[in-house]
Amino acid sequence: QEEREMETCGYPEFEAHKQLHIAFISAVDGIASKFDMKRDNTSVLEELANVGLKWLDEHIRQVDTKLASFLKR
């Protein structure tokens, strides 16, 4: 829905923002592919947590805040 809203409103950084979403999904998929129910997955879970925290900090707190400012205009 966020991408649809950006496109509808003519957000000038839509394509770059969309690429960040694609990169995040790809990173999570890559980490998920390492998960193995038959072994200790502590390192995989730590990697996933780090990617998630980075996403929260860099994308949501910074990139999405910029988008929100644009949409409020």
Q: pLDDT for 17-61, tens place per residue?
A: 999 999 999 999 999 999 988 899 999 999 999 999 999 999 999
As to burial, measured by CB atoms within 10 angstroms (0-12 exposed, 13-18 middle, 19+ buried), residue 8 is: exposed
- CA distances for 40 relative to 9, 26, 66, 71, angstroms: 46, 23, 39, 44
- Which ranges constitute the DSSP H helices of 33-60? 42-54
pTM (2 d.p.)? 0.85
In angstroms, the CA 58 to CA 33 distance is: 24
Q: Does 16 score more than 90 pLDDT?
A: yes
Q: Does 14 score more than 90 pLDDT?
A: yes
